[in-house]
Amino acid sequence: MKNNKLLILMLLSILLTASCKKYVERVNDDPNSFTDAPATLIVGQAQLAAAYLYESQPARFAGIFTDQFTGSDRQYITYDKYGVTTGDFDDVWTRIYQRGVAQAKLAMEKAESEGNTNLAGVSEIFYGFFIGEAAILFGDVPAVEAADNDILDPKYDSQSAAIDFAISKLDDALSKVSANNSYNSVFVSNNFNWKEIIHSLKARYYLAKKDYASALTEAQMGISNANGDLLIKHSNNTGAKNMYYQFGVEQRGGYMTVQGSGSNNGNGSTLKRWLTIGRPSGLNSPGDLQRDAVYFDGLDLNFNTGGYFAVDASFPIISYVETKLIEAEAAYHTSSDALTPFNEVRSYLEMKYNTPGGFPPSTSNGQQLLKEILEEKYISLIGNLQVFQDIRRTNNLIGVQVKGTGTSIIPQRFLYPDNEINANSNFPGLKDLYDKTEINM
């Protein structure tokens, strides 16, 4: 009898356990969280992450570090003096890897399994893009093992190896995409085509590595006209507004201006002064005054209708102007014709800002021409991450103001974030803000 009671208790225990498991086994599932989605939606998420990278906190840091902008209020005053911590880059890393690399790679794999070669290629463009941008900003980063579901702690590749991996993804994408602008819901539907975008991105990454011959070749096959820019589209609708506008008007008004720092307080940032007072190279550019009126509203960013940072203003991921200036610099370094692509940019600027004679062609050569090319890129690529890379790559040849206390150089990298320091056993160790990365030694 005793044994029968014990058997009954054991059976009841098993039944209760099974019953409880049945009722709670999915209690933590979010009914609003999708477990699957079409590749077209997934690649859209990666493209949104690219928009964040180029218009949000990473771009603001880069613009402040290179004195295009001034940190003017609250913690941005500290940022203006390069006072950043590892925790400031948590969201940047998360956006690049979890919302960028992982989503782009997943979209690529899903598109391949569905037999959609073109979509797989578009997704792979962004796979390579995020790895390339991460390497330029941080140095050594996970590349080959990034977003591998079977690897919890991806190893770090050297900065140059990571950039090579990014270029290999772009090469692979080139064999898949067609020359159209399909799968571009986040971007302006102009005349851009993915093949030219790939060549321009490859030119960007070869330039970063100082492989000027390859950069020249790729730039010459890159974006061929100003209507082929890869532009993030914006409107006045909630969720679609220009992110510079959202920050400067709706979220943190007055935090970031161009008023200038230190002895230049009230006289303008380096970019502001060059537009209004003149360029250090002496290149005659009266059209810069018109450009200043588009970029800035006094000592504030121009958020007004028609302004560069207006609510509906599109913003470039990569552009014709960047491509031609890469071509010009790469041509200079390879003893090729640098003046022609440089003056093509000057002609385009006259048209863009409606200033006949505002950007006369240059007749310079040697180091003078190089400075003019780099100055033009610094001015033209306002708010763009590549300005941060150019200043580091060239050891600040054009002489933007250094604002930090106790340093003679601008920051040389983004800091590895806390969430990576604490989570990845392959983390390579802390780096100082002023430690040069491998490709900029």
Q: At what angle do helices 339-352 and 320-333 cross, to 10 degrees?
A: 160
pLDDT tens-digit series, residues 266-281: 999 999 999 999 999 9
Query: Which pLDDT belongs to residue 423?
Result: 95
Assign 70 to helix, strand or coil. strand
CATH topology of domain 39-433: 1.25.40
Give all strands (DSSP E) within 163-266, no chain letters: 230-232, 256-257
pTM, to two decimals? 0.92
Name the residue ranges covered by the structural domains of the chain. Answer: 39-433
Question: Both tokens of residue 78?
Answer: 């500290």
- Mean pLDDT, the chain, rounded, equals 93
Query: Which pLDDT belongs to residue 296?
Result: 98
Query: Which pLDDT belongs to residue 35?
Result: 46
pLDDT tens-digit series, residues 58-88: 999 999 999 999 999 999 999 999 999 999 9
pLDDT tens-digit series, residues 399-428: 999 999 999 999 999 999 999 999 999 999
Residue 302 has pLDDT above 90, yes or no: yes
Backbone angles phi, psi at 70, to 5 degrees: -120, 130
Query: Which pLDDT belongs to residue 27?
Result: 28
Question: Both tokens of residue 390?
Answer: 């150019």
Q: Report d(CA 341, CA 329) in Å as an integer.
A: 9
Q: Report d(CA 141, CA 347) in Å as an integer.
A: 39
pLDDT band at 21 (very low <50, low <70, confident <90, very high): very low
Could you give the percent of the chain with pLDDT greater than 70?
92
DSSP label at residue 358: S
pLDDT band at 12 (very low <50, low <70, confident <90, very high): very low
pLDDT band at 19 (very low <50, low <70, confident <90, very high): very low
